Structure 1
Amino acid sequence: MTTQIDLGAPLTADLLATAAVPVTVTAGPEVRDRVAASREFLSKALGDDRAVYGATTGFGALVGYAGRADLADQADNTLAHLGAGQGPDLPPAVARAAMLIRVWSLAQGASGVSPHVIDALIAMLGTTFAPAMPRYGSVGASGDLIPLGAAAQALRGRGHAYLNGERKPAAEALADAGLTPLPLDGRDALALVNGTSVTTAALGLALIEVRKIHHALQHLTALLTDLLGCDPQFLDARLIARYNHPGAAHVAGQMREFLRGVEPSGTRPLQEPYSIRCTPQLLGAAEDALRHIDAVVAADLGAVSDNPLFFPGDDAVLHGGNFFGQPAAFAADLLTMVIAQLGNLAERQLDLLVDPHRNTGLPPMLAAGPGRQHGLQGVQLASTALITEIRRDALPASMQSVPTNLHNQDVVPLGTQGALRALDQAGLLRLIAGSLALGLRQAVHAGARRPTAPACAALHDRLAEAIPPIDPDRPLEADVRTAAEISLRDAP
């Protein structure tokens, strides 16, 4: 069933992922009235010979010079010089999520765009069309100019686009999708590019994925606790209440519920390693951080990211910096920190699970016949490589400001890089979580007890039903992905 999205209602993060496939976007009378009023006000302002950035002027550092006299010609003036992006294309799902965010922002009636721009974006989102947008070129200030410029050109039938996942010339993709090239004037073109929609899309999609993995790691940690026979007192509500952090209380409560009915073996040490004992504190801190990122994404999705903005009721054209993606830049760097520490936790838990000195006497590497077989040895090596890749790339982007654009953009947030990096790293984190889940499935086959908590037993059984035991050795890359998918399936 096709997702329905109303441009008159709030845009929420969960809707971003739905835009990867065709969605039905609607604009009711109230939306259309405010878009039309904003457009009419722009015409009035231009008729009064007011200075309107991008409509009567050059762009960026060249704002002091007049733009082209013909407004239709001014669209080319806006977009041609932005055709400077490099690197691979963004994933079509990111490009389409960005266009959903862009149309929602434009539909708020503060951008002065032509109503047909809204209609064209709505029509595009109803197909599989996705503009080809270069990964490199945005500094997340004055909007994601270069990738969104490529998107605007693709909508005009220039450059390239994807249709049904196939990259082709944009004009061909438009025709095959039943769409027509989008006519733009200077204000329309600038409004399409002068926002941080790519940054917000990548950050929102990364957040959705990390939230799922964070939830899965609570369950996987509980299953590890049960399989090893650990005493779950580290989750006791009285203990956690004294820690006084809301995220820890939330996580501990979730884990206690998942471990309901667990029976400690009585053979484990009094105090478990931190990778078990401190999980409510670690995962709880991640929960608190994710709640902050939730709020940043929600604010961005409810924002009009553009310049200038038009206020017909006040007879005002206001020039400012609502395209400056600093909140998302900070949030993306924080999300990267969360990803790295979640990866550290899962990798250390896997290390504990395969170590016979710490796993209650299970065979090394959980091998069914050590030496003749090698169990999780290759998977652990790969997990080590994955976490080091995440950690190597964890330098904050938001502090890397370099002046550009003749010092017009003398400070820049670089949130685009941070958000896209977080999205990449979320994919690696998923694989580390899948590696841990595969180890937990193998542990019972290698001699661990069957889980005693019903929820833990059910999770193990889902893994065991889909993944045969590693006996004898076999390539495991597909099993890691399957284990990750099963582990994330219960995430809200």
Structure 2
Amino acid sequence: MSEHDLIDDLRAPRNAQQAVTIGGRHLTIEEVVSIATQRAPVSLNADAGWRARIERGADFLRRHLAAGKTVYGVNTGYGDACVVDVPMELVEALPLQLTRYHGCGMGAYLDDAQTLAVIAARLNSLAYGFSGVRLVLLERLADLINHRVLPRVPSEGSVGASGDLTPLSYVAAALVGERDVMFGGALRDASDVWSALGVTPLRLAPKEGLALMNGTAVMTGLACLAFARARHLTRLAARLTALSTVALDGRAAHFDATIFAVKPHAGQAEAAAWIRADLAGRDDTPGHRLQDRYSIRCAPHVIGVASDALSWMRRDIENELNSANDNPLIDPDSERVLHGGNFYGGHIAFAMDALKTAVANLADLMDRQLALIVDDKFNNGLPRNLTGATHARAPINHGFKAVQISASAWTAEALKHTMPASVFSRSTEAHNQDKVSMGTIAARDCLRVLELTEQVAAAHTLAAVQAMQLRLRLDPETPVPAPLRAFASTVAAVSPFVDEDRALERDLRALTARIAACALVDPNEGAAS
């Protein structure tokens, strides 16, 4: 593990990466994050066999309809209205109707990165070749990404089964030249943007409206971003544990490899190894206590839960990402129409419910460590509230007192959001959608928990660096391993030592933004030991 792992986490986003190939291959979480945050373009697979298979699906569906067969959502109504036959002369008009009546989303709009992640997830699912769509539809989705034509997608309105219908209707609407999009930093009418690009808005073929909307792309795209940010936070929590150990004049022995070898949870051992590396060379002579308090001594055990959980979450998120998750499925090889329920987002819902709990526990851990280092009853000789004021000014300075209060508030809110969304299924749409996943709500909750936890991490980072500097003021011979000195130096460039009380909001906002952005820029940073 490089000592620069966490220093790199504070740097600005890097430039765009090479194009990500879509179709005929496994797409990774990291590639979705690259598309969403690094402005990596996408390119459809040039393989002639893959392209022919996509077109075979659309061709089979046309022939199937011409033979008088019934296909849900193509020549029937939607949902509970599947018993309503649609006359052939209206079949072409049906997809557009679907996109229009679902234009009822509410809440905050997805940001640019979230929107790009959603489009990438939908494109990859349709590229699986079981959705009966034309190649031109995939090309237009790629155009949305590559030209940054970003539909304004409201975040609220999906129950996460029958797909993310309402939010994805805004993606479909953008393709046909309806509703607003963000383009070139301005809100524009979609049809005007296509005209400026010299592209005719898409006319949806039968099933293409349903194929665009009847899937798990919103929850899955958001889950990819959440995964990357959560993994970053596990590494940062370990770094802050090491920094707090130095600040508190604590013991490195708590992270001895043997302790974790005899309780062999891989993530726990990984977290301990990170902390051990950060403390390398530190004298292990007992300080003020034989055993440090739990938030220090047991930090690998807390961080390890999140780290281990991420392994199975990757499996489930990438399975969902690389799946055909609409209905009905069109099998171009056996020429069958398969009516099923792959739009159900249960795996993402459960992963996001679990992830928000694991991340909130990181917030709680960091909040407890912060409480120790600011409190002169527990911080082993550091000034009250980590004030850096001189003796004459000390009575009126309060250092990090309010920062600790705010961090506690953010932690409490994060913990409040851990109630699982997936257990709150509601019967909807005339009891046709009578058991739903709530996956998109779970993903949105998880992102909110991440946001709050990143704020706690920023507060803890500033306080821990201040505490380390104060420890060195008390004893200039205090051993501070090189990785921690380098990290503290980088943080100090963002927020200088607090010698006299000042408003720290700007420092906290800047550091929080960097923590979140760098986790998304390259989720591999700090991940390898």
Superposition TM-score, scaled by structure 1 size:
0.95
Aligned to 2:67: 48
**Relative to structure 2, which stretch is displaced further, 321-330 or 289-298?**
289-298
Distance 2:368 2:396 in 1: 25
Aligned to 2:11: none
- State the Cα distance separating 1:312 from its structure 2 match: 2.4
Q: 1:25 aligns with which of 32, 43, 51?
A: 43
Distance 1:57 1:256 in 2: 62
Asked whether the equivalents of residues 32 and 221 of structure 2 are also in contact (C-alpha less than 8 Å), the reply is yes
Q: How does 1:117-156 map to 2 (within 5 A)?
A: 117-156=137-176
Q: How does 1:408-423 map to 2 (within 5 A)?
A: 408-423=432-447
Asked whether the equivalents of residues 454 and 515 of structure 2 are also in contact (C-alpha less than 8 Å), the reply is no
Letter in 1 for 2:506: A
Q: How does 1:52-63 map to 2 (within 5 A)?
A: 52-63=71-82
Distance 1:92 1:179 in 2: 22
Distance 1:213 1:195 in 2: 29
Change (3 A) 1:94 1:465: closer
- State the Cα distance separating 1:348 from its structure 2 match: 0.8
Distance 1:159 1:433 in 2: 39
Change (3 A) 1:282 1:180: same
- State the Cα distance separating 1:486 from its structure 2 match: 6.5
Distance 1:180 1:262 in 2: 66
Q: 2:179 aligns with which of 138, 159, 162?
A: 159
Aligned to 2:409: 385
Instruction: Answer yes or no: is 1:473 the counterpart of 2:473.
Output: no
- State the Cα distance separating 1:243 from its structure 2 match: 1.8
SS at match of 1:103: helix
Q: How does 1:368-379 map to 2 (within 5 A)?
A: 368-369=388-389, 370-379=394-403
Asked whether the equivalents of residues 275 and 349 of structure 1 are also in contact (C-alpha less than 8 Å), the reply is yes
Aligned to 2:10: none
Instruction: Answer yes or no: is 1:188 the counterpart of 2:216.
Output: no
Q: 1:283 aligns with which of 285, 296, 303?
A: 303
Instruction: Answer yes or no: is 1:225 the counterpart of 2:225.
Output: no
Letter in 2 for 1:125: I
Q: How does 1:451-470 map to 2 (within 5 A)?
A: 451-470=479-498
Superposition TM-score, scaled by structure 2 size:
0.89
Distance 1:388 1:263 in 2: 36
**Relative to structure 2, which stretch is displaced further, 28-37 or 320-329?**
28-37
Change (3 A) 1:23 1:118: same
Distance 2:214 2:182 in 1: 23
Letter in 2 for 1:472: E
Distance 1:419 1:401 in 2: 15
Structure showing greater relative contact order (alpha-carbon pairs closer than 8 Å, 6 or more residues apart) = 2
Change (3 A) 1:40 1:129: same
Q: 2:423 aligns with which of 399, 403, 422?
A: 399
Number of residue pairs matched?
Answer: 492
**Relative to structure 2, which stretch is displaced further, 49-58 or 189-198?**
49-58
Distance 1:333 1:429 in 2: 15
Instruction: Answer yes or no: is 1:318 the counterpart of 2:338.
Output: yes
Aligned to 1:4: 19
Asked whether the equivalents of residues 35 and 114 of structure 1 are also in contact (C-alpha less than 8 Å), the reply is yes
Q: 1:236 aligns with which of 239, 243, 256?
A: 256
SS at match of 2:468: helix
Q: Deviations over 1:304-340 (max 9, x none)?
A: 1111111222221111000000000000100110121
- State the Cα distance separating 1:83 from its structure 2 match: 1.6
Distance 1:324 1:314 in 2: 24
Change (3 A) 1:451 1:81: farther
Asked whether the equivalents of residues 354 and 364 of structure 1 are also in contact (C-alpha less than 8 Å), the reply is yes
Q: 2:349 aligns with which of 329, 336, 353?
A: 329
SS at match of 1:361: coil
Asked whether the equivalents of residues 82 and 149 of structure 1 are also in contact (C-alpha less than 8 Å), the reply is yes
- State the Cα distance separating 1:441 from its structure 2 match: 1.6
Q: Deviations over 1:253-298 (max 9, x none)?
A: 2221222111246322011111001111111111111212111111
Distance 1:486 1:188 in 2: 39
Q: Deviations over 1:163-189 (max 9, x none)?
A: 134333222343345543121023111
Change (3 A) 1:332 1:487: closer
Distance 2:50 2:192 in 1: 31
Instruction: Answer yes or no: is 1:304 the counterpart of 2:319.
Output: no
Q: 1:351 aligns with which of 371, 376, 379?
A: 371
Q: Deviations over 1:63-103 (max 9, x none)?
A: 01112523321112322221221222122221221111111
Distance 2:502 2:236 in 1: 25
Distance 2:308 2:316 in 1: 13
Q: 1:97 aligns with which of 95, 117, 141?
A: 117
RMSD of aligned Cα (Å)? 1.8
Q: 1:431 aligns with which of 455, 458, 462?
A: 455
Distance 2:515 2:342 in 1: 39
Q: Which runs of 5+ in 2 are unaligned?
A: 1-15, 519-524
Question: Percent of counterpart pairs with the same letter?
Answer: 33
SS at match of 1:395: coil
Letter in 1 for 2:105: G
Asked whether the equivalents of residues 109 and 153 of structure 2 are also in contact (C-alpha less than 8 Å), the reply is yes
Distance 2:408 2:77 in 1: 51
Distance 1:127 1:487 in 2: 27
Instruction: Answer yes or no: is 1:39 the counterpart of 2:54.
Output: no
Q: Which runs of 5+ in 1 are unaligned?
A: none
SS at match of 1:252: helix
SS at match of 1:161: strand
**Relative to structure 2, which stretch is displaced further, 200-209 or 30-39?**
30-39
- State the Cα distance separating 1:229 from its structure 2 match: 2.2
- State the Cα distance separating 1:485 from its structure 2 match: 6.1
Change (3 A) 1:451 1:476: farther
**Relative to structure 2, which stretch is displaced further, 319-328 or 97-106?**
97-106
Asked whether the equivalents of residues 44 and 139 of structure 2 are also in contact (C-alpha less than 8 Å), the reply is no
Asked whether the equivalents of residues 316 and 347 of structure 2 are also in contact (C-alpha less than 8 Å), the reply is yes
Asked whether the equivalents of residues 229 and 265 of structure 1 are also in contact (C-alpha less than 8 Å), the reply is no
Letter in 1 for 2:153: M
Aligned to 2:312: 292
Aligned to 1:258: 278
**Relative to structure 2, which stretch is displaced further, 53-62 or 41-50?**
41-50
Distance 1:64 1:397 in 2: 31
Distance 1:357 1:140 in 2: 49
Asked whether the equivalents of residues 152 and 181 of structure 2 are also in contact (C-alpha less than 8 Å), the reply is yes
Distance 2:194 2:87 in 1: 28
Q: Deviations over 1:194-249 (max 9, x none)?
A: 10100001111111111111111111111111232211222112111222322212
Letter in 2 for 1:11: L
